[in-house]
Amino acid sequence: MAEYKVLVVDDEAGIRMGTRRILQNFKVDYPFMDEHIEFVILEAGTGEDAIEIIDRDMPDIILLDNKLPGIQGIEVLEYVKKKLYDIVVVMITSYASLELAVKATRDGAYDFIPKPFTPQELRSSLENITKQLFLKRMTQKMNKEGKQIRFQFLSVLSHELKAPLNAIEGYLKIMDERQFGDNIHAYQEMINRSLDRITGMRSLIMDLLDLTKIESGSPVQNFQPTDITAIARLSLDTMRPYAIQKDVDIYLNTKESVIMEADSKEIEIILNNLISNAVKYNKQGGRVDIFIKQEKGNIKITVIDSGIGMTDEEKSRLFQDFVRIKNQKTRNITGSGLGLSILKKIVEMYHGEIEVQSVPDQGTTFTITLPQDKQ
Amino acid sequence: MKKTILIVDDDMDYLFQMKLKVEQFGFDTITADGQKEAEMIIESVKPDLAILDLMMESDDSGFILAYRIKRKYPDVPIIIATAVTAETGMSFDTTSDESQQWIKADLFLDKGIRADQLQREINKLLKI
Ligand SMILES: Nc1ncnc2c1ncn2[C@@H]1O[C@H](COP(=O)(O)OP(=O)(O)OP(=O)(O)O)[C@@H](O)[C@H]1O
């Protein structure tokens, strides 16, 4: 049996008592858990008391009322966030505004329970939280032990895989019911869209394979003197059919060989990603310029495009898993949002650096610097 | 006169399929592919009902849009269609007064909802 400490913060003693009763004999079981979890209740009548108890007893879960006599609940939430405590906070409150709710979510509030709540509402919310917390801690433990299980990642992944499936299923149903008559031509656009979504899904799966190669404990790196220019040429050739369709010209401005000790597969992933993005996020009649240089013990790979560019805010999110910039200009472009996060992981393995310069509507320059002799 | 439903989603396929369904129920539709476009539309058009995706430009676009729509047109019912509930375990309740004060939606629906259920919910909100 395990115990989670639940801190109830409410200025009404009656609510604190009630909560204690509701949770007294409550246990949570979970198929993943060998044991069940019970709850120990701690109480605080004010935000100030709550902070004292948090520092002293380190609860696992806080049920937090926002309206308190002294400092407000949201300030307690901010405190927990600032201290980076591993505590799940549930706001129990009547919200004055959307702004507060959004702020609370940003500050890491996990859930909201409206007040007054029924015993059943409280229990089922606590059950969810307990499972979530358990999974999170198990994940952390496994990560420490070097096991690469990432629930967070998997749940986003399942969402990313489900969206195209839903779209394709929707179109197939429309066709199945012959909603636009018996002529196949009436469905051409739906067929095209389905094929596009399949392409997107395939690229996601390919990216995932790259990612598992990088992340599976000891990557089998095969270091050899590698000609970066030759790989760039190869990558350019693979991308050319796509570039022609998009009416984008690609130029490899370096002719001479630039050699470094590297795993050619990894360099290929870097170049493929940069060049394919430079083509994908370009404009009709646009161009892509590639430079490979050797300077001061570093290899510099520069890919310049004359494409749609991005804002500083968009730039800051670029390298996160599954991040795709959503705006008018990117809405018809498919992708997994994994490419650059993979690239970043590889560049880090080489102790290299990535620099991005971008101006909306003018273009983007990616510069990768890899030290030639890596330790 | 036909009622007009505003549909907002950044997945163009979902948007198209939802538009098709809603038109088959006998409504007119206006579509927008994000919070920004929808905000522009409501400046000049008052829909009879709105169906919004939750995560668009940002994770809470649907909430913010719902808030703006309700501020301009308090009587327009709003449905938030989301795939998140199942995945995050986030539970929302839209019936209590307290949550209605901050989540300005009349109903949360799972994106996978069947067409006939969707039609029933829309009719209920439009009182037809
Ligand atoms: N050269 C570029 N110009 C403008 N935007 C870019 C450029 N490269 C990347 N981006 C933006 O960064 C986001 C993340 O790129 P990333 O390569 O990780 O994913 P993706 O292109 O969506 O998918 P894939 O991994 O299949 O290439 C893209 O969605 C795009 O909006």
The answer to whether the Cβ–Cβ distance between A96 and B102 falls below 8 Å is yes
- The pLDDT, as a whole number, for residue B85 is 46
**Low-confidence winner among A123-132, A169-178, A229-238, B69-78 (lowest mean pLDDT):** A123-132
Please work out whether the CB of residue A354 comes within 6 Å of at least one atom of ligand 1. no
Ordered structural domains, chain A, with CATH: 2-117 (3.40.50.2300), 223-375 (3.30.565.10)
Contact B47, B5 (CB under 8 A): yes
| Distance (Å, whole) CA A210 – CA A271 | 14
- The pLDDT, as a whole number, for residue A372 is 86
- The pLDDT, as a whole number, for residue A226 is 93
Residue located via tokens 């939606």: B105
**At residue A31, does pLDDT exceed 60?**
no
- The pLDDT, as a whole number, for residue B37 is 92
Most ligand 1 atoms within 8 A of CB, residue of A277, A330, A336 to mutate: A277
Token output for A95: 């919200």
More confident call, A136 vs B101:
A136
| Distance (Å, whole) CA A303 – CA A274 | 7
Which protein residue's CA is at the shortest distance from atom 21 of ligand 1? A335
Please work out whether the CB of residue A93 comes within 6 Å of at least one atom of ligand 1. no
Ordered structural domains, chain B, with CATH: 4-109 (3.40.50.2300)
A188-215 and A151-176 helices, crossing angle to 10°: 160
The three-state DSSP-derived secondary structure of chain B is CCCEEEEECCCHHHHHHHHHHHHHCCCEEEEECCHHHHHHHHHHCCCCEEEEECCCCCCCHHHHHHHHHHHHCCCCCEEEEECHHHHHCCCCCCCCHHHHHHCCCCEEEECCCCHHHHHHHHHHHHCC
Please work out whether the CB of residue A278 comes within 6 Å of at least one atom of ligand 1. yes
**At residue B74, does pLDDT exceed 80?**
yes
The answer to whether the Cβ–Cβ distance between A167 and B17 falls below 8 Å is yes
Token output for B53: 């995706």
- The pLDDT, as a whole number, for residue B54 is 80
**At residue A148, does pLDDT exceed 80?**
no
| Distance (Å, whole) CA B62 – CA A291 | 43
Max mean pLDDT among A81-85, A220-224, A231-235 falls in: A231-235
**Low-confidence winner among A230-234, B31-35, B83-87, B122-126 (lowest mean pLDDT):** B83-87
15-74 of B, contacting A, C-beta below 8 A: 16-17, 20, 24, 33-34, 56-57, 60, 63-64, 67
A241 burial via Cβ count (<10 Å: 0-12, 13-18, 19+): exposed
Closest CA relative to residue A20, chosen from A92, A119, A129: A119
pLDDT band at B56 (very low <50, low <70, confident <90, very high): confident
Contact B107, B117 (CB under 8 A): no
Query: Would residue A363 be called left, alpha or beta, if left means φ above 0 and alpha means ψ between -120 and 50 degrees?
Result: left
Query: Interface pTM (ipTM) of the complex?
Result: 0.73
Quote the ligand 1 centre to A320 CA distance (angstroms).
Answer: 11
161-190 of A, contacting B, C-beta below 8 A: 162-163, 166-167, 170-171, 174, 179
Closest-CA distance of chain B to residue A161, Å: 12
- The pLDDT, as a whole number, for residue A196 is 87
Distant-in-sequence, close-in-space partners of A155: CB < 8 Å, separation ≥ 6: B87, B88
Quote the ligand 1 centre to B38 CA distance (angstroms).
Answer: 25
- The pLDDT, as a whole number, for residue A137 is 73
- The pLDDT, as a whole number, for residue B91 is 41
| Average predicted confidence (pLDDT) for chain A | 83
Q: What mean pLDDT comes out for the span A92-107?
A: 60
Looking from the CA of B120 toward its CB, the CA atoms found within 13 Å total 6
Instruction: Name the amino acid, one letter, at B73.
Output: Y
For residue A272, how many other CB atoms are within 10 A of its CB? 21
From B14, B67, B89, residue closest to A98, measured CB to CB: B67
More confident call, B55 vs A3:
A3
